[in-house]
């Protein structure tokens, strides 16, 4: 059985392996022992914290194969970004230049550094090992976060965002970043991305262009990747778009990848998830698959299984094995979402 659960200190080696395997551009998991251990400790504290209003909590979870006891993936949600460290984006805008005298009108795209998403929740740190990228495993891992958001809405910002990985080559070099490196930062993309992942962001405020950047003045290869996603990220983007996430003209400051957003209460899976009461027994045969989670916090568990669910009834039968995996007992509630 594949079970999603909160990360714990004993998962450090597995998380380090995922950080190495994820490669360039996966900013939320730099290959750095101190940072990874700090992320785990922060997540452990967040899952047990009494929260009245979201602040700087981070909910990092892992996907465990209970047969092999191996951690094979991870996913996370940030409660409210930018509350302690600045959270930068470029906002794509338009400036209009018009002269009646010479009968010329031009619209010019601009990039303006901003902190507009401060306080938003963020879907992040989604990674699944190659051997498990089959069936509905990736979809289950990603969408399970919507069950957690639905159950614990007061812990998250009203807007939910996801930063999509931008275009870069096999070496990790970004066409969008090249001009920034040449004229402003002076360090390569991999180093800048790594420092950002470590939370060492002072150099951004010190070295990034303070005035709007005219897109037409960038090299063509930089212009062409603004708002575009890495080829490996296209399936994740399609999944989020199906949930109602939209691109609102905000892009990453390093690789130009798009950030998509949706109101938490408008996410389709949040709206469509249901609470059902558990009956432990022999499960009826069915071909309908669901993502299932308990309603707990520190003991949060989620998985996927085939369930027989009726629109007319608010109960569902779980096998003893499935109930044990989800840490639920007879009469307790679970939240379900069709796969």
pLDDT score, position 209: 78
Backbone angles phi, psi at 299, to 5 degrees: -105, 30
pLDDT, position 27: 67
Per-residue confidence (pLDDT) for residue 25, from 0 to 100: 54
Question: One digit per residue, pLDDT tens: the chain, 339 residues?
Answer: 999 999 999 999 999 999 888 865 566 788 889 889 999 999 999 999 999 999 999 999 999 999 999 999 999 999 999 998 888 899 999 989 898 888 889 999 999 999 999 999 999 999 999 999 998 999 999 999 999 999 999 999 999 999 998 888 777 778 888 888 887 777 777 677 667 666 666 677 677 777 899 999 899 999 999 999 988 889 889 999 999 999 999 999 888 999 999 999 999 999 999 999 999 999 999 989 999 999 999 999 999 999 999 888 899 999 999 999 999 999 999 999 998
Could you give all domains of the chain from N- to C-terminal order, each with its CATH number? 2-89+114-267 (3.40.630.30), 270-338 (2.40.40.20)
What's residue 170's pLDDT? 77
HEC-encoded secondary structure of 227-247: CCCCHHHHHHHHHHHHCCCEE
Q: Measure Cα distances from 176 to 117, 168, 206, 268 in Å.
A: 21, 9, 19, 33
Nearby residues of 109 by Cβ (< 8 Å), 6 or more positions away: 92, 93, 94, 214, 215, 216
Catalytic: which of 24, 154, 230, 313? 230
Note if 230 is an active site residue.
Answer: yes
pTM as predicted: 0.90
């Amino acid at each position: 059985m594949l079970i999603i659960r909160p990360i714990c200190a004993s998962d450090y080696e597995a998380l380090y392996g995922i950080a190495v395997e994820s490669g360039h551009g996966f900013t939320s998991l730099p290959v750095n022992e101190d940072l990874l251990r700090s992320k785990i400790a922060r997540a452990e504290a967040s899952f047990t914290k009494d929260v009245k209003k979201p602040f700087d909590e981070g909910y990092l979870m892992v996907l465990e194969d209970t047969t092999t006891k191996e951690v094979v993936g991870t996913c996370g949600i940030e409660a409210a970004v930018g509350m302690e460290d600045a959270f930068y984006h470029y906002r794509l805008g338009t400036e209009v230049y018009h002269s009646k005298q010479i009968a010329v009108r031009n619209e010019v795209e601009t990039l303006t550094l901003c902190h507009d998403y401060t306080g938003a929740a963020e879907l992040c740190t989604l990674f699944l090992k190659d051997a498990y990228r089959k069936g509905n495993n990736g979809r289950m891992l990603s969408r399970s976060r919507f069950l957690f958001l639905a159950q614990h809405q007061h812990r998250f910002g009203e807007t939910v965002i996801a930063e999509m990985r931008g275009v870069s080559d096999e070496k990790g070099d970004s066409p969008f970043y090249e001009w920034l490196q040449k004229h402003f930062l002076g360090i390569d993309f991999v180093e800048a991305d790594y420092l950002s992942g470590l939370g060492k962001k002072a150099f951004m405020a010190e070295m990034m262009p303070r005035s709007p950047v005219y897109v037409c003045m960038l090299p063509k290869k930089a212009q062409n990747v603004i708002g575009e996603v890495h080829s490996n990220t296209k399936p994740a983007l399609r999944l989020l778009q199906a949930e109602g996430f939209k691109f609102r003209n905000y892009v990453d400051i390093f690789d130009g990848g798009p950030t998509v957003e949706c109101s938490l209460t408008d996410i389709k899976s949040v709206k469509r998830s249901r609470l059902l009461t558990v009956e432990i027994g022999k499960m009826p045969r069915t071909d309908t698959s669901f993502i299932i989670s308990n309603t707990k916090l520190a003991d949060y568990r989620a998985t996927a299984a085939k369930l027989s669910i009726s629109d007319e009834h608010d109960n569902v039968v779980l096998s003893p094995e499935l109930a044990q995996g989800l840490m639920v007992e007879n009469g307790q509630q679970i939240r379900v979402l069709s796969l």
